[in-house]
Amino acid sequence: MTDRPLVAVLDYEIGNLRSAQKALEHVGADARLTADPALIADAAAVVLPGVGAFGRCMEALHRTGLAEVAVDSAASGRPFLGICVGMQLMYEGSEESPGVPGLGILPGTVRLLPAGVKRPQMQWNVLRPTDPSPLLDGLPDPAWVYFVHSYAAEDGPLTIATCDYGGPVVAAVERDSVAATQFHPEKSGAAGLALLGNFVERVRASVAA
């Protein structure tokens, strides 16, 4: 049914991945927490959540066979969303785990938050859109969202939103059908649910196309 599109939430057995699944269900998706490549291939969209250390998460993705699946899913043209460490895993690497390659879905390296700020950033902060995106449509103004991280992507042309934490910190990026948030939309109240709702609308539109 396209009114509740199938969204595969990648289950690589690390962290609380079910909270993202439950939030996606709440905003209208048929969200399945899964490691089944066939189900993931059939899904209308794929979500890569994540908590913890970059290196351990990459190890878990490889152990469960989901690293290649994630790369293929992002390249398929279906909507793809990374969340928190899931966003960081999409890059080529991270200063947190030198020598550990990331998925390479997005270009660049994830860097330690700037000197002079408390690490991790573990707080609500205001999302500051920097480029128009349907994912950010209808969010409250100001949009308060919840962060837990010590590392962040480098700013660049893919950035669609930042937050202020010792200077601008990349909070969300987007390239074609691929998007990612450094904050946890599933823990960010009305603003987070609005963003996930926009993502599900994007999925519906891609199924109908």
Average pLDDT over residues 127-153: 97
Asked if 170 contacts 154 with a C-beta cutoff of 8 angstroms, the reply is yes
pLDDT reading at 193 higher than 90:
yes
Task: Out of 59, 92, 186, 201, pick the active-site residue.
Answer: 186
pLDDT reading at 28 higher than 90:
yes
Average pLDDT over residues 102-106: 98
pLDDT in tens, 163-188: 999 999 999 999 999 999 999 999 99
pLDDT of residue 194: 98
pLDDT in tens, 144-168: 999 999 999 999 999 999 999 999 9
Q: What is the pTM of this model?
A: 0.97
pLDDT reading at 124 higher than 80:
yes
- H or E stretch including 194? helix 189-208
Percent over 70 (pLDDT), the chain: 99
Q: d(Cα 66, Cα 142) in Å, to the nearest integer?
A: 36
What is the pLDDT of the chain when averaged over all its residues?
Answer: 96
| pLDDT confidence band for 1 (50 / 70 / 90) | very low
Domain coordinates of the chain in residue numbers?
A: 6-208
Task: Out of 57, 163, 174, 184, pick the active-site residue.
Answer: 184
Average pLDDT over residues 32-47: 98
Rg (C-alpha) for the chain, rounded Å, is 16
Q: Is 149 a catalytic residue?
A: no
Q: d(Cα 181, Cα 174) in Å, to the nearest integer?
A: 9
Tell me the two tokens of residue 36.
């089944």
Asked if 88 contacts 54 with a C-beta cutoff of 8 angstroms, the reply is yes
Q: d(Cα 108, Cα 87) in Å, to the nearest integer?
A: 12
pLDDT reading at 199 higher than 90:
yes
Task: Out of 57, 84, 96, 149, pick the active-site residue.
Answer: 84
Angle value at C-alpha 200, between 68 and 88, nearest 5 degrees: 40
pLDDT of residue 2: 56
Question: CATH code for 6-208?
Answer: 3.40.50.880
